[in-house]
Structure 1
């Protein structure tokens, strides 16, 4: 399983709690054993871990990426957006509207509470690949960058796999 660990800056955790406009930009460097580390002066003890990332393989059209996000800090962390060279991305969720499950943009981003986990899973929150530039085949590796409130980033790689699940449709307005 791929696991990516990112060490964030203490100022990021404080600005996330305080909601201030001050930010600290972080840069990522790949390290051995499937770990990406983000550092900036001063180095902090805060970490956001992306565990078990994967993408639903798709020959065409929209698809989604999933993972378990683990906040090892004492402060809430908010993911406000995401990017990938494979496709434009949006943060999405599935919710009940008029008695049907529908996909909608996730207002306010994904908030990972202090010391908690947040699941990106089929039928729930996910990273929506809106227009993949090519088919995403099982075994393909896609890179992603999560942008955190306050300016930090988290890079990770996810492997594509076939998944029929509950026959979810990731087309807007479909269950």
Structure 2
């Protein structure tokens, strides 16, 4: 047998044996079941779907999306935080006596009904990022953490985009003492 043929046979033997050795185990007994992080982690009580943040050069901006309650009891979002802002506040938009809309703090946070949802939208309820630490450019990903009334937390990321609607009036001096 020539050397070339011997090399080819040795290579073929190695290729055949390699997949078989992957089937073996260093331990005896049944193999441990595979675990996925999703299967091992219970579903959070609340999630945020389609989150986005309005691009802003400085000062403050707003976060929108839908809060979804995955439980059979109401869930209250009590506070929030973000490394992008000095403070996170919950706001609602209400009409004053003249019919003009104005943002104001949402006392008690946002309560999401059992197995329901709560929409955060321009011109309505929303999350405010106050005292921005740097500009929020279109396409930027902003991390937020919401704390529920039971102490559990929900982390999510909102992508920044340009938005020119919902021009509510805002007086920053009215809002810094809460959050």
Identify whether the pair has TM-score above 0.5, normalized to the shorter chain.
yes
1:14 aligned partner: none
Contact 2:68–2:115 at 8 Å: present in 1 too? yes
- After superposition, where does 1:76-155 map in structure 2 within 5 Å? 76-87=74-85, 88-99=87-98, 100-155=100-155
Structure 1 residue 95 displacement after superposition: 0.7
Q: Unpaired segments of 5 or more residues in structure 1?
A: 1-30
Please identify the structure whose Cα radius of gyration is greater: 2
Question: 1:110-158 CA distances to partner (integer Å, 9 max, x unpaired)?
Answer: 0000011101111111111111011100000010000000111000000
Contact 1:38–1:154 at 8 Å: present in 2 too? no
Contact 2:90–2:127 at 8 Å: present in 1 too? yes
The total of aligned residue pairs comes to: 137
Q: What's the RMSD between the two structures over aligned residues?
A: 2.6
Contact 2:45–2:75 at 8 Å: present in 1 too? no
Q: In structure 2, do the counterparts of structure 1 residues 126 and 61 end up closer, same or farther at CA, with 3 Å as the change threshold?
A: same
Q: Where does structure 1 differ by over 6 angstroms across 4 or more consecutive aligned residues? A: none
2:164 aligned partner: 164
SS at match of 1:150: coil
Q: Unpaired segments of 5 or more residues in structure 2?
A: 1-35, 174-179
Bigger helix fraction: 2
1:57 paired residue among 55, 58, 64 = 55
- In the superposition, the TM-score normalised over structure 1's length comes to 0.70
Question: 1:47-81 CA distances to partner (integer Å, 9 max, x unpaired)?
Answer: 31210000000112211001101112100000011
- In the superposition, the TM-score normalised over structure 2's length comes to 0.69
Contact 1:79–1:110 at 8 Å: present in 2 too? yes
